[in-house]
Amino acid sequence: MSSDSRQSVIEVLENATSQDPACMARAGDSLRVWETRPQFHAMLFSIFADHTLSIPARLMAIITFKNGIDKYWRKTALHAIGLPEKELIRPQLLSMLDESMPQISVQYCVAIARIARWDFPAVWPTFAEELATRVHTIAHDLDSSVCGDHRRCYTMEHNALYIMHLFVKKLCERTLARERQALRSTAPALFSVMAPIYARRIAQFNEALHMGDSEGSQELLKSIRFCLKTLRRLYVHGFGNFESADPLVHEFYVATVGHQAAFYELFCGLPAESREADGCRILVKIILLYGKMHLEFQKFKTVRFITTPAALPMLRWYWQQIQAEAPKLTAVPLERSGDAESPPLVLERLVIQGLELYRNVVKNMFYLADDSGQMDEEVQRCRLVIDSEILTAPFVAQMSDTLMCHYIPLKAGDIEMWQDDPETWIANEDLDHWEFDVRRSAERLFKDLVNQQRERIVPELVRALQQPSMDFSFKSDGLYTALGLCANELYDHLDFCHWLRQHPPTDSPMSVSKWRIAWLIGKWVTVKFPTEERGHAYVALLEYARPGEPLVLRMEAIASLLFCIDDWDFDATQFKPYLQLSIERITEMLGSVSQAELRMRMVNYLSTIISRMQREIAPFAESIVRLIPLLWQSAAGENLYQTAVLSLVTKLVVALGAHSAALQPFVAPLVQHSIDLDDPAHVYLIVDGIDLWLALIRNASTMDPNLMALLRHIPRLLQSSTETLKSVLKVIEGHALLCGADMMRSYGPALIGALHELVADANMNVRAIAAGYTTLNVIVQCVQADLAGPALAEANVMWTPFTRIVDKKEAAMVLVHHAGFLSRVAVHYPQLFIEFLTAQDAQLTRAFAKHWVDIYDDVGQIPQRRLHALGLAVAIATTNDGVLKMLPLMVPIWNDVLLNTGSSQLYFSDRDDDNDDEYSEIVVPESERRRKLLSNDPAHNYDMKKAFSQSMAECERLNGSERFHAIIAQVSAEDLEVLKNQLS
C-alpha cells in the first residue's frame, strides 16, 4: 500500500473502535479488503509505533497486525505476506519494548512471539540470540546508573521478559525432533541470561522489602514472575542430559526451594485484609509457579526428580505445610458447623500441589519394577531413595493418620452447605475437581498410599475399624471414609456386612453418620456384598431416603440403591418386594429438588430401575406415566434433561412390551417434538426421539393415527443426517411390517421417493445404500403390488438399479444390492417387472441382462443367490430378445442353485442376520413379524424346481415351441442335461 493510504487506514482503525455498529461493520469490511494487500502489515506496525496517534487507533493497529500474523505470515498461506515486507518488519519488532499501555503491550508481545514461532530457527535463526541480548542489556541498564527513568526501564524489562516467556513456551510445545533439538541447543544460552537476572531480582526484592519500598517491590515481583515462568520451562524441557548441564542450572533449582519457602513465609506474615492487593496476587502466583515447576519436573523427568538433591528438602517442606494446615480443617467440630467458621487455609492450592507431589511419588510406574520383576539401575536408585528417605514406615504411618484424621473427613463447611445449599453440594460432589479441592486431592493420595503400602497400612486400618462403635467425629468419619475409599484393598481382610451390623449409625448433626453408611454401601456393593445380605441394604437405604431426612442423605441413599440395582450380581426377584417403595422414593425426590441436573439424575435412576426390572415394572407403569408430563414440562429448555426423559419413556415402552400400545397417543407428541427439524432443539433430541419411535413400533400390535402421522417427517429425516439413518430406516420397516397397506395409502409416494433418492445418491457409502435397499425389500415383501407398484413406478425406482447395472461402473458390492432389489421386485411383482423391462430399449435390456447374470458370481449369501436365480427365472417369461439371448448363461446359475440348496428342498432359517435385535434376549412383537416375513420369503421357502419349471413353461407359451426350442438349443448340452435331471 502507498504512503498516501496511511491516513485512510488510521481513520478506518479509529472507526473500528466506534460504538456505532454500522461504523464498526464498515471499518471491518475495509480492513478485510486491505489485509491481503502488500505492505499493509508494515503500515499497521508503523501506525502502532507512532505515539502521536490516539490509543484506540494504535490498539486496533496492533490487534489487526497480530491477527494478520496468524493468517498470512506463513509462506504457504493464501495471500502470504511477501518477503520484502517481512524484511521491513523484522528489524523493527524489538524497537517498541518501552510500550507502557498494558492492553497494547500484551498484543505487541504476542505478535512478536507468533512471528518467532514461524521463523525460528529456519528463517530467523538469530532471533533467540537477539532477544537474549536485548533482555541482558535492559537488565544491565536497570541495574546500573545508565537508567534514568526506572519506570520506563521496568516496563522495557517486563515486556522483554514476557516476549521471552511466550517464545520459550511456544518452543516447548513443539514435538518434532528438529524443533526439540532447536530448543535444547538454545536453552543453555537463554538460561545463562535469565538465571542471573532472576537471582539479582530476588536479591533486590529482599533489599527493597527491607527498605519498605512497596512500589519497587511490586515491579521486582513482576520481573521475578516472568523470569520464573521462562526458567521453569527451560529447566524442565531444555536439557536432555542434566549431568552435563552447567552448574548454574543445578544451583537454580536448589535455590528455588529456599525462595519458595521465603516467599510463602512472607505471604503468611501478611494480614488477611492485605492479601487481595495486586502485589500479593503476584506473590501468590510466584509461590504457585514454583509448585508448577516441581510438578512438571516430576512429570517429565521422573527419575531425575527423585535423584536431585533438592527434591527431598522440597518434599519435606511441602509436608510441613500440609501438617501445619491440617488442624485448621478440623478446628470446628461438626456439631458446631453453623455457629463458628473454620480458619481458612493460608494457600489452599499450595497444599493441593504438595498432596499431588506426594501422590506422584507414592504411585508412579517409573518407580516400580516391570512385569518380570526387574528394575534397571536408575529405577533401583529411585526406589532406594523413596523407600529409605521418603516413604519410611514412620512417615507412611504419619501421612496415613494425617490424611485420615484431618483431610479426608467431611468438614464443618460441608455440613453448613448441607443446610444452606444442599443441591449445589450434591452436584459438586460428583465432579472430579481434585485440582481445586483439598479433600478430593487428599482422597486420591490416600487411596494410592493404601494401594502401594497395603502391608503397612491395611492391618492397622482393619484393627481400628474393628473397635467398638464410637461417637461420630472427624476421626470416625475419616475412618469410615477410608473404609469406602479402600474397599478394593480391604475386602479380603474385613467382612463388611458383619462390620455394618456391628456399627449402626450414631447421632450426628444433619445425619452425617447415616449419610456415611449409605455412601459406604454404594462403595462396597460393587466390590464384595453377598446377595443374601442385600435385602438388609435395600431396607436401610430406603429408610434413609424417606421424606424428613436431610436432602443430601436422601440423595446419597438413592444413589447407593442404584449402585445395588445396576450391579452384575443384582437379583430382580429379590428386589421385587422393594420395587414400589423405590419408585415412590425417587418420585418424592423429584418433588424435592429444583436443579435440572439433579432432576435429570433422578430420571436416569428411574430408567435404570425400569431397565433392570423389565416386565416386573408393569404394575407401576401408570404411576410412572403420570410423572412424564410434569417431567417434560420442567425440562423445557433443558435439552439434556429432555433426552433423559425420552430415554426413560423408551425403556418403559420396552419393559411393557406389547402392553405399551396404550402409550402411543400419549408418547407421539414427544416424538413429534424431538424429530421436528425446524426446532433447534432437535440437534439434541433427535437420536433419543427416533429410538423412542422405534421402540413404540417394535412393541406395537396396533397403530395409533398420531403415530402413523409421524411418517410425514421421514423424507426430511432421511436427508438430514447419516447418524440417524439406520434407525429411521428401521422405523419405516417397522411400519411396513405392522401396517404396510395403510402406510402406502397415506404416505407411499413420499416414502418411496425419499428411499429412491437415498439409494440413487452416488455419494452415499455402500452400507447406507444397502440399508436403503433392505427397507425397500421389506416394503415390497409386505405390501401388495396394487398398492406399492404405482408408487414404485411413479418414483421410477427401478430405473436407478437398472441403469447402474447397465453402466457397471460401480463396485461389485454395490451392484449386488442393485441386482438384489430388482430380483426382489421380479419375484414379488412379476407383472410390474416385466412391464418395466418391456418398456426399455432393446440394446439397454440386452446389456442389463448380461450384467445381471454376471453379478451372480459376486453374490455371497445363499438366500440372496436363490433370490437372484428366481429373478432371472421370472425375467424369461417375456418375448424380449435381449433377455432370452441370456438364457444359455442363466441355466448354469439355476443348476448351481439347485445343486447347492438341495435340489427342490426348502432352504429356511428363522433368524435374520441383518437384524441386530434378532439375538437380543428381549422378544418384541416385531420379532415375530420378522420371523413370519422370513418364513414367507421366496428366497427361503420356494420350491426352486417348480419355480424354474413354471418359468420355462411360461417362456415356451409366450414365444411358441419353435422359437423356444431354438433358444434352448443355444444352451450347452451338458448344462441342459444337468437341468433336465434336476427338474425331473
Q: What is the pLDDT of residues 786-827, one digit of tens each?
A: 999 999 999 999 999 999 999 999 999 999 999 999 999 999
Of the candidate ranges 19-33, 252-266, 469-483, 561-575, the one whose mean pLDDT is the lowest: 469-483
Q: Using 50, 70 and 90 to split pLDDT, how confident is the model at 919?
A: very low
Residue 906 pLDDT > 50:
no
Residue 676 pLDDT > 70:
yes
Residue 980 pLDDT > 60:
yes
Q: Which whole number is the average pLDDT over 432-456?
A: 91
Residue 337 has a pLDDT of 57
Three-state DSSP at 549 gives strand
Q: In 35-176, which ranges are continuous DSSP H helix?
A: 40-49, 55-72, 83-89, 102-119, 127-143, 150-173
Q: Compute φ and ψ for 906, nearest 5 degrees.
A: -75, 140
- Rounded to whole angstroms, the Cα distance separating 449 from 456 reads 10
The residues pairing with 549 across neighbouring beta strands, listed in sequence order, are 547
List pLDDT tens digits, range 840-877: 888 899 999 999 999 999 998 888 999 999 999 999 88
Nearest one of 455, 548, 552, 542 to 513, comparing CA atoms: 552
The residue ranking higher by pLDDT, 342 or 68, is 68
**DSSP string of 491-509, one letter each residue:** TTT--HHHHHHHS-----G
Q: Using 50, 70 and 90 to split pLDDT, how confident is the model at 96?
A: very high
614: left (phi over 0), alpha (psi -120 to 50) or beta: left
Q: Using 50, 70 and 90 to split pLDDT, how confident is the model at 764?
A: confident
Q: What is the number of helices (H) and of strands (E) in the chain?
A: 51, 0
Is the sign of the CA dihedral 553, 559, 560, 565 positive or negative?
positive
Residues of the chain with pLDDT > 70: what percent?
94
The H or E element containing residue 572 is: helix 572-575
List pLDDT tens digits, range 209-225: 989 888 889 999 999 99
Measured between its terminal Cα atoms, the distance across the chain in Å is 93
Residue 145 has a pLDDT of 63
Q: Model-level pTM?
A: 0.84
Of the candidate ranges 182-191, 330-339, 883-892, the one whose mean pLDDT is the lowest: 330-339
Nearest one of 911, 919, 900 to 859, comparing CA atoms: 900
Q: Which whole number is the average pLDDT over 619-632?
A: 91
Residue 143 pLDDT > 90:
no
Residue 148 pLDDT > 70:
no
**8 A C-beta contact, residue 95 and residue 159:** no
Considering only CA atoms, give the Rg of the chain: 39
Dig out the grid coordinates for 832 from the structure.
410390474
Residue 941 pLDDT > 50:
yes
Residue 298 pLDDT > 70:
yes
- SS3 letters across 135-188: HHHHHHHHHCCCCCCHHHHHHHHHHHHHHHHHHHHHHHHCCCHHHHHHHHHHHH
- Rounded to whole angstroms, the Cα distance separating 818 from 803 reads 10
Q: Which whole number is the average pLDDT over 765-793?
A: 93
**DSSP string of 906-926, one letter each residue:** ----S--TT-GGGG-SS--HH
For residue 690, the one-letter residue type is I
CA 196 → CA 283, 351, 964, distances in Å?
20, 30, 105
Of the candidate ranges 364-373, 609-618, 674-683, 744-753, the one whose mean pLDDT is the lowest: 364-373
Residue 336 has a pLDDT of 58
Q: Which whole number is the average pLDDT over 750-770?
A: 92
Q: Which whole number is the average pLDDT over 485-496?
A: 92
Residue 469 has a pLDDT of 67
Residue 908 pLDDT > 50:
no
The residues pairing with 547 across neighbouring beta strands, listed in sequence order, are 549
Q: Is the peptide bond before 530 cis (omega within 30 degrees of 0)?
A: no
Q: Compute φ and ψ for 592, nearest 5 degrees.
A: -100, -20
Q: Using 50, 70 and 90 to split pLDDT, how confident is the model at 918?
A: very low
Nearest one of 895, 886, 868 to 974, comparing CA atoms: 895
List pLDDT tens digits, range 257-268: 999 999 999 999
Residue 345 pLDDT > 90:
no
Residue 907 has a pLDDT of 42
Q: Which whole number is the average pLDDT over 393-415?
A: 92
Q: Which whole number is the average pLDDT over 668-673?
A: 94
Residue 476 has a pLDDT of 86
Residue-averaged pLDDT of the chain: 89
The H or E element containing residue 776 is: helix 766-782
Of the candidate ranges 660-669, 849-858, 896-905, 950-959, the one whose mean pLDDT is the lowest: 896-905
- Rounded to whole angstroms, the Cα distance separating 521 from 529 reads 9
Residue 505 has a pLDDT of 82
